[in-house]
Structure 1
Amino acid sequence: MNETTAPAPPSALSPAPSGLPAALGAYVIWGFLPLYLILVKAVPPFEFVAWRIVWTLPLCLGIVAMRGQWGEVAATLRNGRAMGVLAITATLIAVNWLVYIWAIQAGEVFAASLGYYINPLVNVLLGTAVLGEKLTRRQWIAVGIAGVGIAMLLGGALTTLWISLTLAFSFGTYGLLRKRVDVGALPGLTVESAILLLPAAGVAAWYGATAGSSFGHDPALSLLIVLGGVLTAIPLWMFAIAARRMSYSTLGFIQFLAPTIVFVLGLTVFDKPLHPAEIAAFVAIWLAIAVFVWDLWSRARAARAVRRPVAT
């Protein structure tokens, strides 16, 4: 009797999908976000964050309907542990949005940029301490150089350091928790938005009853506020996909793209001066990024050399 070999499962025939395209897409959108925030500068930060949440949920629900993921959303809602983690991540991302929007509107563009330059250091430390990811000697050198850059801010930019650290730790912890909870990217974002909906609607209603709502009076401004939902949901969805598919330490150092774009915008569009401590911090963190990327490239090149077949 002839033996037949069972076909290999699809997962064995094709490599796992890469998170790199999603990560690059998310960070490019976040990098240019200050240009959008200029257009909605008339909206107070608290109110704007509230409207971002209100308009993010319908978009998420629409995408869930198109992708047929209602079952995943329902399963998440029944999972007590997942709901607890998503309640924390929803709070973290709301804090991150609020501080970032306030910083841009207040002209603290470089503090915001530094926050997302520091974030890779936070990601590396969290990936090492919590996920057990191992760093090479060169990667530890990169972490040390970045730490020196942060320390420089203590001497010359202490008044804005809280902005940078809040952005770095809130988003770093958000990404770590999203990586550890067994919930898909889109269902998780949908549930996060639903958790924040009632508080957000309350904030929007309070502004409408006291200072007057920014939404509904000027058609152009109202359309821009609605666009905030799109610019919130799409990059967060991409980031959640990337966080589930990539090493958290590697993802953290790809993130330098967004703050680099913000840094360039600060020098050009916002025309903000750089203080000496900020210059020193940027140089140190850029050097750290260069060392880390060099290490990743060297190890990838060595791995390709090992896999190359030997001629016989």
Structure 2
Amino acid sequence: MERTQQPAGVAYAGGAYLLWGVLPLYFLLLVPSGPWEIVAARVLFSFVFCLLLLTITRGWRRIIAIIRQPRLLGWTALAGALIYVNWQVFLIGTLSGNVVETSLGYFINPIATVLLGVFVLHERIRRLQWVAIGIAVIAVVVIIVAYASFPWIALSLTASFGIYGLIKKKIGPAVDAVSGLTLESFWLLPVAVVQLIIVAQTTGITFGTEGAWHTSLMLFAGIATAVPLLLFAAGARRINLTVIGMIQFMTPIMQFLTGVLILHEPMPAERWIGFIIVWIAVLVFVVDLLIAAGRGRRIRLTPIA
């Protein structure tokens, strides 16, 4: 990895996680729109934005090459289904006053990703990583038992985004960021249309009825969805996964602070205990990443006899 690429990579990845961290506040500005209407808007306007990007960057040849490969198309469809679940659960959590629980899901996500690597890709993991996984499991059990509430929002976000990342890793460089997001959004268009029909028949569609500012924010939802994903893809190509793992914790930290300090969500003692155990697991995980990175640097610097 060229040293000149690393500052740009950190900036791209940091920008992505920074934007993801403030998304709860952005989506709260869309009230009285509900989570089902907002996700439909994200799908529709993300697709339109990606079509524009494909035209500007002359990327139609790349996407046509992907369309000619049924296997890749199938993976993009599965990725689209998973990112839909992630978006929908995240919006339900955000608009129902559970931003703190959404942050819990993204705190656990890096550890869950390691587990997927072990059981799906048959990767070996280090001892400290097993310790972090064990502590994270204890934290989830404590939250369920002590808080008397199953953290379905957090675990759904962890599972959906973790498997989504696994699929992205599997299809690798064969599907670039813009083409991938375009196809994922395309597969979700029928779902978005059905959701809008149901919303129109029940609570009523708010798009275009709440003033110019609200309409503009809804239109911008596509850009707000696509830009962080594209920044992340640009950053991931320039820096190694260890650095990505460190930066990744920006998002749940910002979401947790948003929920507690800005939205004043309740944090009883039982929930604090669960989160503290999660943070211990995260600390162990980060320490392991730092140790591994240090060993890697020493190996690279060791002269060959």
Contact 1:90 1:195 in 2 (8 A): yes
Partner of 1:8: none
The answer on whether the counterparts of 1:253 and 1:292 sit within 8 Å (CA) in structure 2 is no
Q: State how 1:150-189 maps to structure 2 within 5 Å.
A: 150-181=140-171, 182-189=174-181
Indicate the structure (1 or 2) with the bigger Cα radius of gyration: 1
- Provide the TM-score with structure 1 as the length reference: 0.86
Q: Which residue in the other structure is 2:195 paired with?
A: 203
Q: Aligned equivalents of 2:2 and 2:85: distance in 1?
A: 41
Residues 54 and 158 of structure 1, relative CA distance in 2, 3 Å threshold: farther
Cα distance in 2 for partners of 1:32, 1:13 equals 30
The structural deviation recorded for 1:235 is 1.4
The answer to whether residue 127 in structure 2 is matched with residue 137 in structure 1 is yes
Tell me the equivalent position of 2:225.
232
The alpha-carbon deviation at position 49 of structure 1 amounts to 0.5
Which residue of structure 2 aligns with residue 114 of structure 1? 104
SS in 2 for 1:296: helix
Residue 291 of structure 1 pairs with residue 284 of structure 2: yes
Task: Tell me the distance in 2 between the aligned counterparts of 1:168 and 1:158.
Answer: 20
For 2:240 and 2:141, locate their aligned partners in 1 and report how far apart those are by CA, in whole Å: 27
What is the alpha-carbon distance in structure 2 between the residues aligned to residue 12 and residue 239 of structure 1? 18
- Distance change (3 Å), C-alpha of 1:137 and 1:19: farther
Greater Cα shift, 143-152 or 225-234 = 143-152
Letter in 1 for 2:191: P
Question: Aligned-pair distance for 1:33?
Answer: 0.7
Which is worse superposed, 85-94 or 140-149? 140-149
Which aligned pairs between 1:16-35 and structure 2 lie closer than 5 A? Answer: 20-35=10-25
Distance 1:251 1:267, change over 3 A: same
Q: Relative to structure 1, is the Cα distance of residues 158 and 249 closer, same or farther in structure 2, using a 3 angstrom cutoff?
A: farther
8 Å Cα contact 2:6-2:239 kept in structure 1? no
CA displacement at 1:12 relative to structure 2: 10
- Distance between the aligned counterparts of 2:292 and 2:8, measured in 1? 18
C-alpha spacing 1:109/1:211, structure 2 compared with 1 (3 Å): closer
Q: Name the CA distance, whole Å, in 1 between partners of 2:80 and 2:165.
A: 11
Secondary structure at 1:268's aligned position in 2? helix
Q: What's 2:41 paired with?
A: 51
Corresponding residue for residue 77 of structure 2: 87
| Root-mean-square deviation over aligned CA pairs | 2.8
2:217 and 2:190 map into 1 onto residues whose CA distance is 22
Aligned with residue 216 of structure 1, among 208, 219, 225: 208
Partner deviation per Cα, 1:95-123 (whole Å, 9 max, x = no partner): 11111111111111221111111211211
- The unaligned stretches of length 5 or more in structure 1 are 1-10
> 274, 294, 297: which is aligned to 1:301?
294
* Whole-angstrom CA distance in 2 between matches of 1:211 and 1:14: 52
Q: 1:17 to 1:86 in 2, by over 3 A?
A: farther
Change (3 A) 1:248 1:150: farther
256 and 157 in structure 1: CA distance in 2 versus 1, 3 angstrom threshold: farther
- Check the 8 A contact 2:207/2:218 in 1, yes or no: yes
User: Post-superposition shift, 1:253?
Assistant: 5.7
Match of 1:60 in 2: 50
Give the paired residue count.
Answer: 301
Q: 1:156 to 1:13 in 2, by over 3 A?
A: closer
Does the C-alpha gap of structure 1 residues 16 and 219 become closer, same or farther in structure 2, counting only changes over 3 Å? closer
Stretches of structure 2 lacking an aligned partner (at least 5 in a row): none
The alignment status of 1:264 with 2:257, answered yes or no, reads yes
Contact 1:86 1:191 (C-alpha < 8 Å) held by counterparts: yes
CA apart distance, 1:236: 2.1
The code of the aligned residue for 1:223 comes to S
Match of 1:4 in 2: none
Write out per-residue CA displacement over residues 185-220 of structure 1, whole angstroms, 9 at most, x where no aligned residue: 111111111111232133224434554321122211
